[in-house]
Structures are given as structure tokens and as C-alpha cells.
Amino acid sequence: MKNLQGKVAVVTGGGRDIGRATCLKLAEYGMKVVVNYLASSDSAQETVSMIEAAGGRGVAIQADVTKTDDIDRLVADTNKAFGESVHVLVNNAGGLVARKNIIEMEESFWEKVIRLNLTSVMLVSKAFIPHMADGGAIVNLSSLAARNGGGGGAVAYATAKGGVLTFSRGLAKELKGRKIRVNCVSPGLINTTFHDTFTPDQARKNTAAVTLSEREGTPEDVANTILFLASDHSDYINGESIEINSGLYFI
């Protein structure tokens, strides 16, 4: 994947889990990586240290990707660190926030989850696209929840991630003229702090047992797919989602 050598990638929520694995993988193939984070400064700096220890270049930049002023600063700080051109954008930031059924759900909670998982993807993409090189790639994080509605209390999250799929298809069409490809990855059960926080241990074990691999996925499983979609090896894939769930759901 020599086409990535020396180019610039921005990974939102890059300080831990899938975000960290993605930053490390892109840096491994020669990319200069912006590790965006919200509150986990130590974790983001640790990710940068890991990149640099392996001979790569990275920088940690704080920004709340639900706020336009923060996103504008993220763009400016990225340009300051690595120049005006961005070649790969990975919209990874997001989260469940909490499990709430529709009857107990406040309007403010719904809006918070949608803004965190869907509106942020639009806002960050809108801000960075004018700075992206023609022929670049955007990779958005959706979820198995977008396909099956998610687990209990995840209807807002599942709705937002379904929106990410549709947004990615539409954006791929808009960016056709600049040859900027837009794709998604849709992870299933991945061993992350997301599930450490929101999924009971027995439920995780039960789900892992019925995957074809009989295990949870790893952040590296997802990062490897993001690397593929970021590179020219996926040049004929556009507006698509790659499902990373080891047979939990087929499309």
C-alpha cells in the first residue's frame, strides 16, 4: 500500500480501541496521523507515542466533533501540523451514551445520540472535504446495529448508525467528480470499552459463541479493513459498507 506513504490521515476518536488501532495501522503504512480526542488526553498522547516509537509521525488534537467551532479548530490545527492536504478521513467518534427504551427516552437524549453518531460525521466531513486531496478516501464507522436494530435500549444509536450508511452512499455520489471514495465499516461484537461499559459479560460470551469465528472481534480486525478502504486496493469500492461480524448478520 505504497500509495499511503507520506500522506495525511485524520481519525476522530483516535485515542483508544478501534480509533487507536486504526491510527497505528495507518501509521504503519507511512501515513502522518492526526489522533483526535475529546477528553482522553493521556490515551491520545499514548497513541502518538506508540506511533512515534514505531518510526511514524502523529499528533494529538483535542476537539469535540459535535461542535462546529471545535471542528474548525481541528481542521486548522491539522493543516498547521501536516500541511493543507488531507488524504484519508476516518469518522470513528461515537457511542451509545446509555441504554434507553423509547418510552423512557427524553427528546434531549435522542438528539444527543443522533448528534454524536450521525451529525458529527456530516459536520466533520463538511469541514475537511475542502482540504481533501482529489482521489482521497473517507471511511465512516457504522455498526451491526444499523442492520439489526441493535440490542435492548439501543434504538437511538441504531437509528444514527443507519443514517451513517445512507449518508455515506449519498456523499459518495456527491464526491464522484473529485474521485473521493466514501465507504463504511460496520463492526459487530468487538472487544472494546464500548462493550465493557454497556454489554453484560454473559451476553458477550453468548454472542461470541455463535459467531463463525467463535470469538469477539478485535480493534485490529476493524483497523485492517479501514486500511484497505483507505488504500488504492479498494479503488473500485465506493458507497459500500463492509460488515465485520463473523457471520452474526449477513446482507
> Each residue of 44-76: pLDDT tens digit?
999 999 999 999 999 999 999 999 999 999 999
Question: Closest Cα to residue 91, out of 132, 31, 138, 151?
Answer: 138
Is residue 83 a part of any domain in this protein?
yes
Is residue 195 a part of any domain in this protein?
no
Q: How far is CA 222 from the centre of its chain?
A: 10
Residues in the chain: 251
Is residue 199 a part of any domain in this protein?
no
Is residue 56 a part of any domain in this protein?
yes
Is residue 249 a part of any domain in this protein?
no
Angle at 186 between CA 184 and CA 191, to 5 degrees: 130
Catalytic status, residue 157: yes
> Each residue of 138-171: pLDDT tens digit?
999 999 999 999 999 999 999 999 999 999 999 9
Is residue 211 a part of any domain in this protein?
no
Entry pTM: 0.97
Domain that holds residue 135: 2-190+219-243
Whichever domain contains 127, its CATH number is 3.40.50.720
Residues 6+ apart with CB under 8 A from 185: 139, 140, 141, 142, 222, 225, 226, 229, 241, 242, 244
Strand-strand pairing, 32-37 and 8-11: parallel
Is residue 228 a part of any domain in this protein?
yes
Is residue 192 predicted with pLDDT exceeding 90? Answer: no
Strand-strand pairing, 181-187 and 241-244: parallel
Task: Report how many domains make up the chain.
Answer: 1
Residues 6+ apart with CB under 8 A from 47: 14, 15, 16, 19, 20, 23, 24, 35, 58, 60
Active-site annotation holder among 29, 37, 157, 249: 157
Looking at the chain, which runs of residues are DSSP E strands? 8-11, 32-37, 57-62, 86-91, 132-141, 181-187, 241-244
> Each residue of 78-94: pLDDT tens digit?
999 999 899 999 999 99
Q: What is the pLDDT of residue 51?
A: 98
Q: What is the pLDDT of residue 98?
A: 95
Q: If pLDDT is split at 50, 70 and 90, which confidence band does 186 have?
A: very high
CA atoms within 13 A on the CB side of 19: 28
Q: Which three cell numbers stand for residue 250?
A: 449477513
> Each residue of 17-34: pLDDT tens digit?
999 999 999 999 999 999
Q: Which amino acid is at 151?
A: G
Is residue 165 a part of any domain in this protein?
yes
Is residue 114 predicted with pLDDT exceeding 90? Answer: yes
> Each residue of 218-246: pLDDT tens digit?
999 999 999 999 999 999 999 999 999 99
Q: What is the pLDDT of residue 93?
A: 97
- Whether the CB-CB separation of 190 and 18 falls below 8 Å is answered with yes
Residue with the larger pLDDT of the pair 192 and 83: 83
Q: What is the pLDDT of residue 195?
A: 76
> Element (H or E) spanning 25, and its range?
helix 17-28
